[in-house]
Amino acid sequence: MGVLIFLIIVVTVLVIVMIGMAIKVVKQFEKGVLFRFGRLVGPRSPGLRFIVPFVDVLHRVSLRIVTMPIQSQGIITRDNVSVDVSAVAYFRVVDAVKSVIAIENVHAAINQIAQTTLRKVVGQHTLDETLSETDRINLDIREILDIATVEWGVEVTLVELKDIQLPDSMKRAMARQAEAEREKRAKIINAQGESLAAAALGDASDIMMGHPLALQLRNLQSLVEIGVDKNTTVVFPAPLMSTIGELGSFLARESAAAGAGAATTPSPADRTTSGPEPVLNGAPIPV
């Protein structure tokens, strides 16, 4: 009787263990690959799956996108500059059967081929191209990896250069180059400004040559601007004084001519003596 109970317990335990081994759950983001006696049976969709213990083997493969860092490595560019470049790759399994049958460890294989592809592609470009054309380099690496991994049932969705480390000497050289470029642009802008100013000054001189009075008025305006500062000492050259006298006479004649219709025109002598004397800063100006 005791032996029978023992056998029942053993059988019950074995049945429970067998049922536990026969029940498999494939998650929503996974795909199952079933083998029977080592031969491929086929893929299995997500859900509750039953297998034959000790006969069937079910491999579960994740279909989610995997982020894989590509470690930094020293690379010689086409113009013989040594740089340390690191990147990151994103891929996912699109064919679970191929990822199990075609390659033993798909993640390690992609990591290795990504490093060699990164070294190859960056080595085909100059340093300036590597720094300025990262989008094209990323696309080239992704296309090469995608072609190489299609037989493994893997799709490489994105590759990005993460960091580019330059030697200290190259950093200093690039800083000097950038400073020289800024100075060059500043000189070009300054030269363009001087050219425009010279052209405007030439146009103004042409206008003043046709109107002498405008030139004299401009001289007086300059004196007024100088006189704004009370501590400014102004030296009047003799030609300028005669110019002021001529301008005063001209203004007096214009005023007399304007009032000729309302009053009798005085003689030139009276006009000279009776007219108001030009005054500059409170001092009479000889005419």
Residue with the bigger pLDDT between 283 and 3: it is 3
- What is the model's pTM? 0.58
Radius of gyration of the chain (CA): 47
Tell me the mean pLDDT in the region 18-44: 91
Question: pLDDT grade, residue 231 (50/70/90)?
Answer: low
Amino acid at site 63? L
CA distance 146 to 153: 10
**Helical ranges in the chain per DSSP H:** 2-22, 96-101, 106-123, 127-132, 134-149, 168-210, 212-226, 238-258, 268-274
Residue 235, pLDDT > 60, answer no
Q: What is the pLDDT of residues 147-166, one digit of tens each?
A: 999 999 999 999 999 988 88
Torsion of CA 100, 106, 107, 108, to 10 degrees: 130
Q: Residue ranges of the domains in the chain?
A: 21-63, 66-170, 208-257+269-284
pLDDT for residue 226: 63
- Homologous superfamily assigned to 66-170: Band 7 domain (3.30.479.30)
Q: What is the pLDDT of residues 266-285, one digit of tens each?
A: 554 444 444 455 544 444 44
Mean pLDDT of the residues in the chain = 80
pLDDT for residue 196: 85
pLDDT for residue 118: 94
CA distance 5 to 17: 18
pLDDT for residue 79: 86
Question: pLDDT grade, residue 37 (50/70/90)?
Answer: very high
Residue 225, pLDDT > 80, answer no
Give the whole-number percent of the chain exceeding pLDDT 90: 36
Q: What is the pLDDT of residues 183-203, one digit of tens each?
A: 888 888 888 888 888 888 777
Tell me the mean pLDDT in the region 45-62: 91
